[in-house]
Every structure is written in C-alpha cells, then in structure tokens.
C-alpha cells in the first residue's frame, strides 16, 4: 500500500461527513495525490544553481552550465537524454528560459526540471525512487469547517503594481504583479491581504502567515487560491484550503514568501498544518 493509499484509508467514512466536509476531503485527497506523484515535488533530490562553470550533478548525465544560450548540457559519448521522442546527445543548449518557467527532459525514470527562478537558472532532478516519497504519509490538517470560509471583497488597484518578496532560498527574490488586495472580517476586525494573480482568468492567489505559523502550521508561509471575484468584487476565502508550498517539505524549493503586511494577527485554525517530516527534523 502506498503512502497516498494510507492517507485515503481514513477511519471516518464519507457518509459520516457533511457535504461541505466531503467536498473538502475529496479536494484534499486530489491535492495530496498530485503532491505525492512519482515526479511531483516530493521526488526532487536536489537543486543546482547553474553558472558559466560546467558542473556534474549527482544522478543525471552530462556537465551543466548556463550563459547567453540559456542552460547548456554537454553529454559524453556514452550519455544521452530524452526530450519527448527526441534523443539528445553531445552538446545541447536549451535557450533562455523565462522567469518562473521551465522545461523537462528525462534520463531513465528520472525527470530533470530545468527552470529559472529569481533571475537564475536551476536544475532539479525528480526521481520516483527518492526515499522521501516512501516516507511521506500525508499532511496533517485542521478539521474542515464552514466557519473558516470567509466572505470578503476584492479591492482592485487603479493599475497593477509590482511587489518584490523574499524566498525560501536564501538571497533570492521574486517579483510579482499585484492587482489589488482582498479585505475580510474575523471577529469584527477587518483584515487585508495583498493578492497576486491566480492561474485562471480573474483568479487570485495569496500567501500569508498568522498566529498559528511556527506553532501548528508551517512557519514561513501558507498559500490560498481564491476564485475570481463576482461582479461586485465579492470573494470567498476558504481557509480550509490553505495549503503548504513545497518549501514546507523540502530544502530544494525556491518558494516566495508573503508580501509585507500579509501576516494576520489572528490564529487561522484551518487548512494544512506543519508536515510531519518537518516536525521530526
């Protein structure tokens, strides 16, 4: 039985759950399954910051560097990589990679992520045989409750602004476009969170900490996706779906940290808690 099978084999049966809790559980099972996929982030074995000086990386072929041609790999005569159906041999330049973008090639069962973060090119192998995947037994969470699905309002700026935030990787910074803030109430007090653009049209994304951070939840950040505002700017912040970023699980992550001001002065006792692997570290 895999770790994700163990996670799904819960002692509570679905018929004992409210519709709200059942929907949340199905969503979280899917989220954890993607997290624990054979080539998901838990399979990352290391991170290499490329420079002009070629380096070899444990577990994958070639000597790796970067420069005007973007990331470059030099493969020895007995080495090769796969790019889809194409077989890469000799010297291969991948071309400049846009910020927060990336591509993958493959060596056997290992997927090699080549990406750009904070203005620097990186290589991260993802090995389905990584022992971390075998140890992963799922992320602890607070019990879902509708009380933490908070109605709020999106307050758009006249024009998007750029905000620079720190990173889980020391010395790295990220720049994001900010369309506005979301405002909501907890116990009669108004709170505001700077919002980034989400993945879909009109969707929003916030990073935050709160009074549980470093106590029951991961100290650096949690992440929450918000559906596109309605015609009046109304939004729902369902903190039951606040999740950990990869940096909560591995030191090989470059996750952004919350913008200044995105620390809530209340304990958000909802969503994912500190991973067990971090608690044992």
The pLDDT value given to residue 84:
95
pTM value surpassing 0.75? yes
Q: SS3 sequence, the chain?
A: CCHHHHHHCCCCCHHHCCHHHHHHHHHHHHHHHHHCCCCCHHHECCCEECCCCCEECCCCCCEEEEECCEEEEECCCCCCEEECCEEECCEEECCCCCCCCEEEEEECCEEEEEEEECCEEEEEEECCCCHHHHHCCCCCECCCCHHHEEEEEEEEEEEEEEEEEEECCCCCEEEEEEEEEEEEEECCEEEEEEEEECCCCCCEEEEEECCCECCCECCCCEEEEECCCCCCCEEEEEHHHCECCHHHCCCCCCCECCCCCCECCCCCCCCECCCHHHHHC
**Residues contacting 20, CB < 8 A, separation 6+:** 144, 146
Let me know: does 42 contact 35? Beta carbons within 8 Å.
yes
Mean pLDDT by 10 residues, the chain (281 residues): 36 64 96 95 96 97 97 98 97 96 97 96 97 91 97 97 94 94 96 97 97 97 98 98 96 95 97 81 44
**Sign of CA pseudo-dihedral 75, 59, 124, 166:** negative
What confidence score (pLDDT) does residue 10 get? 42
């Amino acid at each position: 039985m895999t770790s994700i099978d163990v996670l799904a084999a819960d002692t509570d049966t679905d018929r004992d759950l409210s519709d709200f809790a059942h929907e949340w559980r199905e969503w979280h099972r899917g989220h954890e399954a993607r997290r624990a996929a054979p080539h998901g982030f838990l399979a990352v074995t290391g991170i290499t910051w490329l420079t002009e000086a070629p380096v070899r990386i444990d577990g994958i072929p070639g000597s790796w560097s970067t420069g005007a041609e973007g990331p470059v790999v030099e493969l020895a005569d007995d080495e090769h990589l796969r790019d889809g159906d194409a077989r890469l041999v000799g010297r291969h330049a991948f071309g400049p990679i846009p910020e927060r973008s990336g591509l993958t090639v493959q060596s056997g069962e290992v997927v090699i992520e080549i990406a750009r973060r904070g203005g620097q090119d990186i290589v991260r192998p993802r090995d389905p045989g990584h022992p971390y995947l075998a140890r992963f037994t799922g992320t602890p969470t607070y019990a879902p409750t509708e009380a933490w699905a908070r109605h709020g309002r999106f307050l758009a700026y006249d024009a998007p602004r750029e905000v620079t935030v720190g990173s889980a990787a020391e010395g790295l910074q990220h720049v994001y476009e900010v369309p506005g803030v979301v405002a909501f109430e907890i116990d009669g007090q108004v709170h505001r969170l700077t919002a980034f653009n989400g993945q879909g049209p009109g969707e929003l994304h916030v990073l935050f900490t709160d009074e549980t951070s470093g106590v029951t939840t991961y100290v650096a950040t949690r992440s929450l996706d918000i559906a596109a505002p309605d015609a009046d700017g109304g939004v729902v912040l369902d903190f039951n779906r606040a999740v950990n970023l990869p940096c909560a699980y591995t030191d090989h992550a470059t996750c952004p940290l919350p913008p200044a001001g995105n620390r809530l002065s209340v304990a958000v006792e909802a969503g994912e808690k500190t991973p067990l692997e971090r608690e044992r570290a």
